Amino acid sequence: MSFRSVAIIGLGLLGGSTGLAVQKFLPDVQTTGWDANPETRARATERGLVHTVHDSAEDAVRDADLVILCVPVGAMGAAAAAIAPALRADVVVSDVGSSKQFVAKALAEALPGVAVIPAHPVAGTERSGPDAGFATLFQKRWCIITPPADADPAQVAALSQFWEALGAKVELMDAQHHDLVLAVTSHLPHLIAYTIVGTADDLEGVTQSEVIKYSAGGFRDFTRIAASDPTMWRDVFLSNKDAVLEMLQRFTEDLTALQRSIRVGDGQALFDQFSRTRAIRRSIIEEGQDDARPDFGRSDHAGS
């Protein structure tokens, strides 16, 4: 591993999981960390999310040859500017944000002359904070790296090797394409979940708690997604708004078509659509991106 010292800025789910994963799978690599919240720093120290939790971001990055920003995408620019004076000349700065065009621009502006290679490990849970992290979060998950055109191939390879060592499968991708893909696979589903759960909450008073009391599996799954960190997802939608709005328009058109099929009693159209989407679910399981068990295997991480 070419990186010998890794600094993690932001010690929530992704930052904490990265720190724990490095200690588990790259035991010779030293880790430092910092979080803006003093209570998070204290808890990160208690859990041992990194080897050393510092009281300032500058101290955390001073000796690191890889810095990973694990803060909400809206805070990336400010976080990068704060550490800029303390960075080594040969450092690589990366991140874990899910809006790559926005992040690449923010980091390039805050860190002129610094090797910036954005990345997005496509992994997570609805939990957040320093107690949410676990070492195996990235196992068999994709990490998409979106290097700028002038990136050093050796540094891109080193970052790829780093994520592969933590258990991820690495894909290189153009930032614009990444944002479009994630708008479909991640951002839009979250937006829909927030909307459906909000609608149910609006109905709560009318139905005297029946929406919550009689929640079926489908609604419960939506509430799991809608429990995700509100700050992070607010920033995601605002930073990737063009791609999200494009996908939302497409979804609205498809939803209108389904609405018409129900209205006119076109059972064949409904059956064909549901059969197609069922096949997609099977493909996701076959790719190892989810578990076919009723609990999706997620209970394996309870309390970790």
90 lies in the same domain as 194: no
| Closest of 59, 79, 78 to residue 68, by C-alpha | 79
Separation of alpha carbons 238 and 195, rounded Å: 16
126 lies in the same domain as 35: yes
For 232, the domain range is 177-301
92 lies in the same domain as 181: no
**CATH code of residue 199:** 1.10.3660.10
The better pLDDT of the pair 257, 223 is held by 257
**Number of structural domains the chain divides into:** 2
51 lies in the same domain as 167: yes
Asked if 151 and 114 touch (Cβ cutoff 8 Å), the reply is no
153 SS3 class: helix
Which tokens go with 55? 């009281």
79 lies in the same domain as 218: no
Measured CA distances, 82 to 14, 58, 184 (Å): 20, 7, 33
Which tokens go with 24? 């588990």
15 lies in the same domain as 33: yes
The better pLDDT of the pair 172, 218 is held by 172
**CATH code of residue 150:** 3.40.50.720
Residues 109-122 have a mean pLDDT of 96
Amino acid at 168: A
Over pLDDT 90: what percentage of the chain? 60
Separation of alpha carbons 3 and 92, rounded Å: 9
Q: How many CA atoms lie within 13 A of 292 on its CB side?
A: 10
Which phi and psi angles does 66 have, rounded to 5°? -135, 125
Which of the listed residues 146, 173, 200 is the one where a domain comes to its end? 173
Confidence (pTM): 0.79
Amino acid at 155: Q
Strands 119-121 vs 66-69: parallel, antiparallel or unpaired: unpaired
Separation of alpha carbons 63 and 41, rounded Å: 19
Which of the listed residues 173, 189, 211 is the one where a domain comes to its end? 173
Q: What pLDDT sits at residue 304?
A: 30
Which tokens go with 234? 């607010």
132 lies in the same domain as 252: no
84 lies in the same domain as 17: yes
Which of the listed residues 173, 207, 238 is the one where a domain comes to its end? 173
Separation of alpha carbons 168 and 151, rounded Å: 21
**pLDDT one-digit tens code per residue, 154-212:** 999 999 999 999 999 999 999 999 998 888 888 888 888 888 888 777 775 655 566 66
